Amino acid sequence: MNGLIFLIPVALGMGGLGLAAFFWSMRSGQYEDLDGAAQRILLDDEDAA
Amino acid sequence: MNAVALSTTDAAACIDSRFTVPGMRCAGCIGKIERGLAEVPGVAAARVNFSAKRVAVSHAPDLSDAQIVDALNHLGFEAQPVAENPLARDDVETKRLLRALAVAGFAMMNIMLLSVAVWSGADGITKELFHWLSAAIALPAVAYAGRPFFASAAMALRYRRTNMDVPISIGVLLATGMSVYEVLTGGDHAYFDGAVMLLFFLLAGRVLDAVMRDKARSGIASLLSRMGRGAQVAYPGGETKWVDAEDLAPGMEMQVAAGEALAADGEIVRGESRFDRSMLTGESVPEPAGPGDIVHAGTINLYAPVTVRVTAAAEDTAIADIARLMDEAGQSRSKYVRVADRAARLYAPAVHSLAALTFIGWMIAGAGVHQSLLIAIAVLIITCPCALGLAVPAAQVVAAGALMKRGLLIKDGSALERLAEVDHALLDKTGTLTLGEPRPSSIAALGEEDRAIALALAQASRHPLSKALASTLRQAGVSAADVTDIVETPGEGLRGRFAGRPVSLLRPDHAGEGLAVSLRNEEREFILFFTDPWRADTAEAIDALASLGVPSAIASGDTSDAVSKAACEFGIPATGGMSPADKLAELERRRAEGQNVLMVGDGLNDGPALAAAHVSIAPGGASDVSQQAADAVFVGEALMPVALSIRVARRTMRTVRQNFVMAAGYNVLAVPIAIAGYVTPLIAAIAMSLSSLIVVGNSLLLARSAKDPK
């Protein structure tokens, strides 16, 4: 029972962290160009070019 | 050095422009475009969006769009400037749904965690604590994630109608409300998990729907080009200025360069040229026009610069008339009721009266208000159209994805539903049955060296015939010869030097009928003729339509005997010389006879018909207006996707009906248990997720529908 006081906030916190991470990734445009991201890995480093 | 200075000093004053570049295919293209543009003086940054086939350029204000398009052309890509993110609103809608889905998912998982503990026997203070925690998570989550449903239900009720969202909203709100009451009074059952899970599944359906729509729309937006948005106007003082299409006024003199689209109707004052009127008439052979002739907005000046005195601009042009006709024609379609909403019309009253009867029944049986209400709400939750809300979008998304791979972009789910009901097809000729662009009839006469020279010359020009010749030669595996000093003379053609000898690609002096160019290499001269060929699989596609029970007919604006030739060749009835209003009248007549007509057309002259038809498809090469009016767009050179789309749409609707039957079957099993009062939150949760999984699984089977031939 005492464990719950500790574990429940941890469970909620981790879920909340995931949610916050998802919101952040959406706002910063991580999903704007999914195909492009897959292609860009094949590009040489732009400084080297 | 110069570029560096510019990018630092102008960083604050930079403006952003977007260009659609349909030609990018690989990582190499991304690198080439981004690095190439970064080297252009005045460009601060360029960022490619590969999914949308777009590039966003941040540049100095004095660098015009035309210059950037030019730079992209030099890099080897065709590009068109696009208006400031025209699809932003749809994007926002999808993002809002995604956020709601994420919140519902987060809440569902955490509440489930607590609920499992309750179900497996937690009691006393632990149970009460868990119920309070669930309430604390569920209330904000329902308020946030439920908004799309509540808003839509409120809208429907305001107009005294009902849609799928009404029973959903009532179910969710009642379940949440009752659970709160249970928590406050220390009761046994809290249905927070059920309410949030319901929202999660339904939001998943909505997100799928929105993603499908966005994907198709951005595909179509990248095909759209910008036509005649303005003109170079010469003022009496000798000064010339660029004037936007809306600001053109009768009396102004537009200077229209070769290759430019007209922005207003007018009379030619000086110059002689040929005009591509395919936007208006569907006729691909350019028409010659000289001083005194009337030319219309939307037509393209092909050969030589002309000066045109504006007679009608903006709202008064022939194009604007057609747009008005389309607006009116589109009204009838908005009356179409989607299958899910039709189901809801039957479903909502049935479910709500069932719940009411349960309540009354238990009251008569003497169970007390509280107990009776609990059971009635359990009935509502168990019948809540969870599977029903997923049944339609899941099937449609899978089908649309399968069709997209075969080159057909469906704009929304309602289009698939209407496609399934089609029983007659009306086809335009030019651009639909034909490719809609000139192709050299044969390049067999050319030797290897001549081909290489022809390609080198042709790819230096943006003239439609040059582009057609260049793409045909490239397909034949020709690589360009090293032709130097290429000069393009508008209205005449291209001249250059190859190995010290003059070579040229010119308008022939005496071409006779049709389109042709003459290629000269030293003393040799070849005349290349151009035709607008049939799509290779036209006959097959018409047969396939017939085998689906959809007889076709041709309705063309073309007045020549090509229409009757097409009728003979494909063995279907054809009518030529139809104006946009004639086509519209034909559709109205067929509709009055009870036919559900599929209209396939590309030209602006088909616009009203496309908007009025039960459902419509436009080819990827169609005018902007047509692509926007149509429900679907097919890309590529095959006509087969049209027939395929009907077959897939019908199969989709069969799957949707199966899904409905399954959802109804689940209700038949679950409702008696609920009415009897045996449903606990555990049973509700299991039943809900099970029925949703079955429906989604059944829909996934559709992924194969566009692959196998039968």
pLDDT, tens digit, for every residue of B478-497? Answer: 777 888 888 877 667 888 88
> Residue B6: what pLDDT?
43
Does residue B85 belong to the interface with chain A, where contact is any CB pair within 8 Å? no
Does residue A28 belong to the interface with chain B, where contact is any CB pair within 8 Å? no
> Residue B8: what pLDDT?
46
From A40's Cα to the closest Cα of chain B, the distance in A is: 6
- Asked if the Cβ–Cβ distance from B133 to A11 is below 8 Å, we say no
How far is the C-alpha of B544 from the C-alpha of B642, rounded, in Å? Answer: 9
How far is the C-alpha of B506 from the C-alpha of B493, rounded, in Å? Answer: 4
B346-351: long-range contacts (C-beta < 8 A, 24 or more apart)?
Answer: B347/B167, B347/B385, B347/B388, B348/B162, B348/B166, B348/B167, B351/B167, B351/B379, B351/B380, B351/B383, B351/B384
> Residue B510: what pLDDT?
63
Domain boundaries, chain B: 2-85, 89-220+336-395+650-704, 230-321, 414-434+535-635, 439-531
Rounded to the nearest 10 degrees, how much is the dihedral formed by the CA atoms of B359, B365, B366, B370?
A: -20
Res. B3: pLDDT tops 50: no
Tens digit of pLDDT for each residue in B434-477?
Answer: 887 778 877 777 777 888 888 888 877 767 778 788 888 887 77
Q: What is the pTM of this model?
A: 0.73
Selected residue with higher pLDDT from B228 and B105: B105
> Residue B331: what pLDDT?
60
> Residue B710: what pLDDT?
45
Which of B51, B112, B126 would best serve as a mutation to test chain A binding (most A beta carbons within 10 A)?
B51
**Other CB atoms closer than 10 Å to residue B624's CB: what's the count?**
18
> Residue B454: what pLDDT?
85
Q: What is the mean pLDDT of chain B?
A: 80
What fold characterizes domain B414-434+535-635?
Rossmann fold (3.40.50)
Which of B30, B115, B222 would best serve as a mutation to test chain A binding (most A beta carbons within 10 A)?
B30
> Residue B50: what pLDDT?
82
- Within 8 A of A18 by CB-CB distance, chain B residues are 106
Least confident span in B21-25, B224-228, B623-627, B651-655: B224-228
> Residue B618: what pLDDT?
87
- Asked if the Cβ–Cβ distance from A15 to B106 is below 8 Å, we say yes
Catalytic residues of B: 428
Residue B540 DSSP SS3? helix
Res. B498: pLDDT tops 60: yes
CB-closest option in A11, A16, A49 to B113: A11
Residue window 94-153, chain B: list those with CB within 8 Å of chain A: 95, 98-99, 102-103, 106, 109-110, 113, 126, 129, 133, 137
Selected residue with higher pLDDT from B576 and B100: B100
Tens digit of pLDDT for each residue in B604-614?
Answer: 778 788 888 88
Q: What is the mean pLDDT of residues B304-310?
A: 84
Does residue A1 belong to the interface with chain B, where contact is any CB pair within 8 Å? yes
Q: Alpha carbon of B78 to those of B65, B223, B603: distances in Å? A: 13, 12, 22
Res. B289: pLDDT tops 80: yes
Residue B261 gets which letter from DSSP? B
Edge-first strand listing for the sheet containing B240-244: B240-244, B230-234, B253-256, B306-312, B265-270, B294-295
Residue B651 DSSP SS3? helix
Res. B556: pLDDT tops 70: yes
- Within 8 A of B98 by CB-CB distance, chain A residues are 26
Does residue A40 belong to the interface with chain B, where contact is any CB pair within 8 Å? yes
pLDDT level of residue B629 (50, 70, 90 thresholds): confident
Of residues A24, A18, A19, A15, the one with CA closest to residue B103? A19
- Within 8 A of B34 by CB-CB distance, chain A residues are 46
Q: What are the strands, taking DSSP E only, across B110-262?
A: 230-234, 240-244, 253-256
CB-closest option in B27, B35, B51 to A33: B51
> Residue B521: what pLDDT?
78
For residue A1, what are its two tokens?
């029972």
From A20's Cα to the closest Cα of chain B, the distance in A is: 10
Amino acid of residue B140: P
Phi (first) and psi of residue B526, to 5 degrees: -120, 135
B2-85 with B230-321: one CATH topology? no
Selected residue with higher pLDDT from B669 and B239: B669
Tens digit of pLDDT for each residue in B217-226?
Answer: 666 665 554 4
> Residue A21: what pLDDT?
94
User: pLDDT over 70 for what percent of chain B?
Assistant: 87
How far is the C-alpha of B496 from the C-alpha of B505, rounded, in Å? Answer: 9
> Residue A6: what pLDDT?
86
**How does B134-165 read in b/e, with b if 16+ C-beta sit within 10 Å?**
bbebbeebbeebbebbbebbeebeeeeebbbb
Q: Which CATH architecture has domain B230-321?
A: Distorted Sandwich (2.70)
Cβ contacts from A onto B, under 8 A: 56
Question: Are B236 and B251 spatial neighbours (Cβ–Cβ below 8 Å)?
Answer: no
- Within 8 A of B110 by CB-CB distance, chain A residues are 11-12, 15
- Within 8 A of B134 by CB-CB distance, chain A residues are none
pLDDT level of residue B111 (50, 70, 90 thresholds): very high
Q: What is the mean pLDDT of residues B513-521?
A: 73
Phi (first) and psi of residue B581, to 5 degrees: -70, -35
Tens digit of pLDDT for each residue in B634-660?
Answer: 888 888 889 999 999 999 999 988 888
How far is the C-alpha of B682 from the C-alpha of B630, rounded, in Å? Answer: 47
Tens digit of pLDDT for each residue in A10-49?
Answer: 988 999 999 999 999 988 888 877 778 888 888 776 554 4
Does residue B539 belong to the interface with chain A, where contact is any CB pair within 8 Å? no
Res. B334: pLDDT tops 50: yes
Q: Which CATH architecture has domain B439-531?
A: 3-Layer(aba) Sandwich (3.40)
Q: Give the rounded distance of the alpha carbon of B163 from its chain centre.
A: 25
> Residue B579: what pLDDT?
80
Does residue A21 belong to the interface with chain B, where contact is any CB pair within 8 Å? no
- Within 8 A of A49 by CB-CB distance, chain B residues are 31, 35
> Residue B364: what pLDDT?
92
pLDDT level of residue B707 (50, 70, 90 thresholds): low
> Residue B63: what pLDDT?
81
- Asked if the Cβ–Cβ distance from B50 to A12 is below 8 Å, we say no
> Residue B284: what pLDDT?
57
- Within 8 A of A2 by CB-CB distance, chain B residues are none
pLDDT level of residue B86 (50, 70, 90 thresholds): very low
Does residue B35 belong to the interface with chain A, where contact is any CB pair within 8 Å? yes
Phi (first) and psi of residue B530, to 5 degrees: -120, 140
pLDDT level of residue B706 (50, 70, 90 thresholds): low
> Residue B7: what pLDDT?
43
> Residue B328: what pLDDT?
66
> Residue B102: what pLDDT?
94
User: pLDDT over 90 for what percent of chain B?
Assistant: 9
Selected residue with higher pLDDT from B382 and B87: B382
Res. B39: pLDDT tops 80: yes
pLDDT level of residue B87 (50, 70, 90 thresholds): very low
- Asked if the Cβ–Cβ distance from B106 to A33 is below 8 Å, we say no
Tens digit of pLDDT for each residue in B163-215?
Answer: 778 878 888 898 899 889 888 988 777 889 888 988 998 888 888 888 777 77
Nearest residue on chain B to A11, judged by CA atoms? B110
How far is the C-alpha of B286 from the C-alpha of B569, rounded, in Å? Answer: 24
- Within 8 A of A22 by CB-CB distance, chain B residues are 102
B2-85 maps to which CATH number? 3.30.70.100
